[in-house]
Amino acid sequence: MSHIKFIVSIGLFVMLSSQLQMFSPLKPGQLTFGIYPYDSPSKIHKDFGPLIKRLSEEAGIPFKIVIVPNYMSFIKSIGEGRIDIGFMGPSPYVKVKDKYGGVELAARLLFRDNKNDMMVIISYTGSKIKALGDLRGKTFAFGDFQSYGSHFYPRYLLNKAGVKLKDLRAYDYLSSHSRVVLAVSHRDFDAGGVRMDIYEKYKNRPIQVIAGPFTIPPHVIVCRQGLSEDIKKKIKETLLKMTDRDILDSIDPDLMKFTSVKDKDFIDARRVLNYIEDR
Amino acid sequence: MSIKRDFYKRLSLMMVVSVLVVSVLVVKKERDILIEDMQNRGESIARLLSTVVMESVLTYDYVTLERYVHQIVQDRSINSLKIVRTDGEVLAEAAKDAKKGEPFVVSYPVEMGGETLGNIHVSFSTERVNAVLQRIIISAIVFILVIHGIALVINNLFFKKLVIQPVRMLIEVTKEFKKGNLKNRVNTPKNTNNEFNQLALAFNDMAIALEGSFEDLREKQKEINTEKTKIETIVRSLADGLFVTNGDGLIVSFNGAAEFISGYGRDEVVGKDCEEIFRSRFCDDACALHNEGRIIRNKETEIITKDGRRLIVSVSSALLRDSDSRIVGGVQTFRDVTAEKQRQEMLCHAEKLAAVGQMSAGIAHEINNPLGNILGFADLLLKDAGITDDQRKKLKIIAEQADKAGEIVKGLLGFSGQREAKLEMASINSIIENVAKLLSTQAENNGIKVAVQLEDVPYIKADRRQIEQVIFNILLNAIQSIEASGRGGDVWVFSRKSDSDVEIEIRDNGPGIPENIKHRIFDPFFTTKPVGKGTGLGLSVCLGIVKEHNGAIEFTSDSEKGTAFMVRLSNLRNHD
Ligand SMILES: Nc1ncnc2c1ncn2[C@@H]1O[C@H](COP(=O)(O)OP(=O)(O)O)[C@@H](O)[C@H]1O
Ligand SMILES: [Mg+2]
């Protein structure tokens, strides 16, 4: 009897400790690298593994990848210091910066043709929608609420075209760009906004662009402000000097390099966010 | 060899057929199992996927759906996976390069609250099934070949040891047997008891039995050969002619004596009918085949020789039968009795004449005296002067007539040969030799040996011819007595000197003279022999002659020892 209890308590302990470990940056001498869930966790691990390994080597500190369940929890985690370094889109950055303040930009990602810095509004092939104004009374798919390219900016564009949320017959937040593309392609929705690189990825699907492309702010890698200056400096330098194609290709073959970025590059984004969240 | 090839052919066929049948069954079963397996897998995949589909449709999460679909399609056996909404919209699809083989499609509906959202189609590659089946078939073939190879090697060894070698050995030994080497035996291994070993044992038993029989046969053959040679020698050396006819009456064997008697060579008669050869009543009279059921013994008949002489032959014959008593031919023996016959006739005649002569002599003697008296008295009267001329004339006639009668008597005596004994010094031994020579042929023909044992005896005064007649008669009687007995025997003739006499003894070991006729044998015309053979005059004449020579004649006889006649002749006492 007693050893069954023992096994059960061991099992419970293992479960709890792993649970704790997942969110705990407290392990001494270990940094957490947070990534928003743009794809399956295994894919994310694979994509970012080489880069994080390099950063860890350069910084002389072991890194741990933490994939956050959604944009909002990412914002919260990095804002509350549970994540030391993060890879994120423009809107989470603006949110963290404005709400928590404790972040510092390390570098931005620069893609070929700037495709990561653009977005389009799509509809399915054969749709009668030719312009944004046609979307009145139609359905629209958004990504994550906190996504700039798939929510804030498309909504901003709709607003500019005179289509407010209440003018749409239906809309929904599908939590990612890819889901938006596919839902539209399956005609679950009449239209949706997605980043250019995602659109490119699904270009052969029955979808068509009805507006765009529009420029959007870049994806960035940020550091928690509380990190030691030395580590922050090393990370920044490593990224900016990164020429290793293997590491870059692993993230995206179209990723050309990391370049420096300033908070003022997000002025437009901050305006759009405020505009949307005011309504 | 052929039994081996035949065996392997059948074995191979059996193996191939059985393995093929098993393979086909296994392949079919395996295919069913694999297909069922795919069906099950397809369904379980679809079932699992249907939840994802439901959720994806509800949350518009086609990305996850696609990821699942793509991942599932990674599975080797799945060709493609397709999720189709009820309106025909393909929600997710993944396919690999089309593989060979008919795809196997499992469809499964996605239902929620009784409403069908769509269908999941999983297409399996039958390539794997085919590959598996192919592997089974290849395995089966390899199995056949390997097992066949092993079986071939093992069987070859076993077959060689168990079948081929014993059979070869049997053949070898059988061949040796054919050559006559009955000593050979088949080796029989101790530790096995299969049919071949039993066969070998049986064969050896048979060989032993055969060898025994063969030995017996050889012995018998040898005996038969010995017998045959014996018989051939006997037949060849047989004084009598002998010939054998087959069942058809054709001559198959003809001995030397037969050649001699008939004048025909063996080659001239073999294969011919005996009637054709002898050209007489020989066959009707005496051949065994012509006289079935009758005993032919010493039957007299005749043949005509090659050079045309008619011979009287004495024939004995018998039928030849095989072991089943079937008549297979006849055997005839024959003897030329022509000369004997003639002699016998002559003897008979001579004896008769002698008897007549003797009688006449007796009569003549009796008449001579009275005739002498008549003549004497007639002469006396003629000298008497007192008689008349007429009386003288008549007396002269009486004397003349008596003289004439005397002459007649003299002539009678001369005719009968019973003239007065002409005494001369004669050698008894030479007389005996002459007579013995004269009768030897007859004696030999009847298987009688005549032994002559002569002592140096003096010449005596005697009538040669008469003494000859005496010895002839007694010797002939002796031979005839043995002849009549049919048992063969011996005759001895002795000459001995006793005092001044010469004694002649003629002894036989024949049947002897029965007691009741002993006192009659010297009587004229007393005989116990058949007409033509005996006259009954022999001994009476002998007695007369011996008496005339002042000799004596005696005999002893009994049925055990035979008969002995003794003739005693005196050298001193002269006749008259
Ligand atoms: N050696 C003998 N053995 C037996 N019987 C004899 C012998 N000699 C003579 N006899 C008998 O005496 C008989 C008279 O003989 P014989 O006077 O010679 O007349 P035949 O010979 O013609 O008969 C014979 O028939 C025979 O029975
Ligand atoms: Mg006689």
Separation of B480 CA from ligand 1 center, angstroms?
A: 9
Residues B203, B533: Cα–Cα separation, whole Å: 72
Cβ(B551) – ligand 1 distance below 6 Å: no
- Residues B61, B20, single domain; the answer is yes
Q: How many Cβ atoms sit within 10 Å of the Cβ of residue B24?
A: 13
Chain B stretch 229-248, residues whose beta carbon is closer than 8 A to a beta carbon of chain A: none
Cβ(B431) – ligand 1 distance below 6 Å: no
Interface residues of A toward B, Cβ cutoff 8 Å, are 40, 141, 172, 174-176, 178-179, 182-183, 185-189
- Contact assignment for A174 to B89 by CB distance below 8 Å: no
Which residues from A are below 8 Å from B59, CB to CB? 174, 179
Q: Given CB atoms, is B266 within the 8 Å cutoff of chain A? A: no
Residues A116, A217: Cα–Cα separation, whole Å: 9
The pLDDT assigned to A13 comes to 42
Q: How many Cβ atoms sit within 10 Å of the Cβ of residue A141?
A: 27
Q: Is residue B160 part of a domain?
A: no
Separation of B148 CA from ligand 1 center, angstroms?
A: 107
Q: Are A153 and A273 in contact (CB under 8 A)?
A: no
- Residues B514, B371, single domain; the answer is no
Percent of chain A's residues with pLDDT above 90: 1
Residues B277, B471: Cα–Cα separation, whole Å: 42
- Contact assignment for A187 to B59 by CB distance below 8 Å: no
- Residues B387, B518, single domain; the answer is no
Q: End-to-end distance of chain B based on CA atoms, in angstroms?
A: 115
Element (H, E) at B456: none
Q: Specify the 3-state DSSP secondary structure of B457.
A: coil
- Contact assignment for A182 to B66 by CB distance below 8 Å: yes
Q: Is residue B542 part of a domain?
A: yes
C-alpha triplet B356, B357, B362: angle, nearest 5°: 100
Q: Specify the 3-state DSSP secondary structure of B426.
A: strand
The pLDDT assigned to B528 comes to 92
Please name the residue of chain A whose CA is at the shortest distance from the CA of residue B85: A186
Q: Specify the 3-state DSSP secondary structure of A188.
A: coil
Cβ(B477) – ligand 1 distance below 6 Å: yes
pLDDT tens for A204-263 read: 888 888 887 888 888 888 888 777 888 888 888 888 888 888 888 888 888 888 888 888
- Type of residue at A178: S
Domain A3-112+218-268: homologous superfamily in CATH: Periplasmic binding protein-like II (3.40.190.10)
Residues B129, B37: Cα–Cα separation, whole Å: 10
- Contact assignment for A183 to B62 by CB distance below 8 Å: yes
The pLDDT assigned to B348 comes to 67
The pLDDT assigned to B492 comes to 96
Cβ(B563) – ligand 1 distance below 6 Å: yes
Cα Rg of chain A, angstroms: 21
User: How is chain A split into domains, by residue range?
Assistant: 3-112+218-268, 115-215
- Residues B273, B355, single domain; the answer is no
Cβ(B471) – ligand 1 distance below 6 Å: no
Q: Is residue B162 part of a domain?
A: no
The pLDDT assigned to B508 comes to 96
In chain B, the number of structural domains is 5
Q: Is residue B181 part of a domain?
A: no
Separation of B469 CA from ligand 1 center, angstroms?
A: 15
- Residues B451, B556, single domain; the answer is yes
Q: Given CB atoms, is B85 within the 8 Å cutoff of chain A? A: yes
CATH of the domain at B34: 3.30.450.20
The pLDDT assigned to B26 comes to 79
Ligand 1 atom showing the smallest separation from residue B351 Cα: 22
- Contact assignment for A179 to B67 by CB distance below 8 Å: no
Which residues from A are below 8 Å from B63, CB to CB? 176, 178-179, 182
- Contact assignment for A186 to B66 by CB distance below 8 Å: no
- Residues B330, B345, single domain; the answer is no
The pLDDT assigned to B2 comes to 65
Kindly identify the ligand whose nearest atom is closest to the C-alpha of B534: 1
Distance (Å) of CA B371 to CA B357, B363, B402, B410: 19, 12, 6, 12
Cα B106–chain centre separation? 97
**ipTM score assigned to the predicted complex:** 0.73
The pLDDT assigned to B455 comes to 93
Residues B321, B328: Cα–Cα separation, whole Å: 5
- Residues B434, B570, single domain; the answer is yes
- Residues B444, B562, single domain; the answer is yes
The pLDDT assigned to B507 comes to 96
Separation of B529 CA from ligand 2 center, angstroms?
A: 9
Ramachandran region, residue A259 (left: φ > 0; alpha: ψ -120 to 50; beta: rest): beta
Separation of B313 CA from ligand 1 center, angstroms?
A: 26
Q: Are A176 and A150 in contact (CB under 8 A)?
A: yes
Joined tokens for residue B178: 């054919």
- Residues B227, B244, single domain; the answer is no
Domain that holds residue B529: 422-576
Q: Which DSSP state fits A150?
A: I
Contacts of A260 by beta carbon, 8 Å cutoff, 6+ apart: A107, A108, A240
Which residues from A are below 8 Å from B91, CB to CB? 186
Q: Is residue B545 part of a domain?
A: yes
Q: Are B98 and B79 in contact (CB under 8 A)?
A: yes
Residues B130, B107: Cα–Cα separation, whole Å: 21
DSSP codes, B530-546: PTTT--S-HHHHHHHHH
- Contact assignment for A179 to B66 by CB distance below 8 Å: no
CATH architecture, range A115-215: 3-Layer(aba) Sandwich (3.40)
- Residues B496, B548, single domain; the answer is yes
Cα B98–chain centre separation? 97
Cα Rg of chain B, angstroms: 64
pLDDT (tens place) for every residue of chain A, 279 residues total = 444 444 444 444 444 433 333 444 444 578 888 887 777 788 888 888 888 888 888 778 888 888 887 777 877 887 787 888 888 888 888 887 887 777 888 888 888 877 778 889 999 888 888 888 888 888 999 888 878 888 888 888 888 888 888 888 888 888 788 888 888 888 888 899 888 888 888 888 888 888 878 888 888 888 887 778 888 888 888 888 888 888 888 888 888 888 888 888 888 888 888 888 777
pLDDT (tens place) for every residue of chain B, 576 residues total = 566 777 778 877 887 787 778 778 877 888 888 888 878 888 888 888 888 888 887 888 888 888 888 888 887 778 888 888 888 888 888 888 765 667 778 888 888 777 888 888 888 877 777 777 788 778 877 877 887 788 778 877 877 777 777 778 888 888 888 887 777 777 777 777 777 778 778 888 888 888 888 888 888 889 988 988 888 888 878 888 999 999 888 999 899 899 999 999 999 999 999 888 888 888 888 888 888 888 888 889 989 999 988 889 999 999 999 889 899 999 999 988 888 887 777 676 666 666 666 676 667 767 777 788 888 888 888 888 788 888 888 888 888 888 878 777 766 665 555 556 678 899 999 999 989 988 888 888 888 999 999 999 999 989 888 898 899 889 999 999 998 888 889 999 999 998 778 999 999 999 999 999 998 898 877 889 887 677 777 888 788 888 888 899 999 999 989 999 999 998 755 444
Q: Given CB atoms, is B268 within the 8 Å cutoff of chain A? A: no
Pocket test for ligand 1, best of B477, B515, B554 (most atoms within 8 A of CB): B477
The pLDDT assigned to B356 comes to 67
The pLDDT assigned to B566 comes to 95
Chain B stretch 41-60, residues whose beta carbon is closer than 8 A to a beta carbon of chain A: 59-60
Cβ(B556) – ligand 1 distance below 6 Å: no
Element (H, E) at A159: helix A153-160
- Residues B327, B284, single domain; the answer is yes
The shortest CB-CB distance from B89 to any of A141, A174, A187 is to A187
Q: Is residue B85 part of a domain?
A: yes
The pLDDT assigned to B499 comes to 79
Ligand 1 atom showing the smallest separation from residue B534 Cα: 22
Q: Is residue B145 part of a domain?
A: no
The shortest CB-CB distance from B67 to any of A40, A174, A189 is to A40
Joined tokens for residue B266: 């063996």
- Type of residue at B449: K
Residues B432, B467: Cα–Cα separation, whole Å: 9
Quote the strand ranges of A38-138, DSSP E: 63-67, 85-88, 103-111, 118-124
The last residue of a domain, from among B275, B305, B336: B336
Distance (Å) of CA B210 to CA A251, B27, B203, B304: 104, 61, 10, 53
Cβ(B354) – ligand 1 distance below 6 Å: no
DSSP codes, A163-221: --GGGSSEEEE-SSHHHHHHHHHTTSSSEEEEEHHHHHHTTTSSEEEEEEEEE-PPPEE
Cβ(B476) – ligand 1 distance below 6 Å: no
Q: End-to-end distance of chain A based on CA atoms, in angstroms?
A: 62
- Contact assignment for A172 to B89 by CB distance below 8 Å: no
The pLDDT assigned to B32 comes to 85
Q: Are B423 and B571 in contact (CB under 8 A)?
A: no
Cα B136–chain centre separation? 76
Query: Could you give the residue ranges of the DSSP H alpha helices within B160-239?
Result: 165-179, 195-237
The pLDDT assigned to A132 comes to 83
- Contact assignment for A179 to B62 by CB distance below 8 Å: yes
Residues B241, B260: Cα–Cα separation, whole Å: 8
CA dihedral of A122, A123, A128, A131, whole degrees rounded to 10:
-20
Q: Is residue B306 part of a domain?
A: yes
DSSP codes, B56-123: HHHHT-HHHHHHHHHHHHTSTTEEEEEEEETTS-EEEEEEPSPPSS--EEEEEEEEETTEEEEEEEEE
- Residues B316, B344, single domain; the answer is no
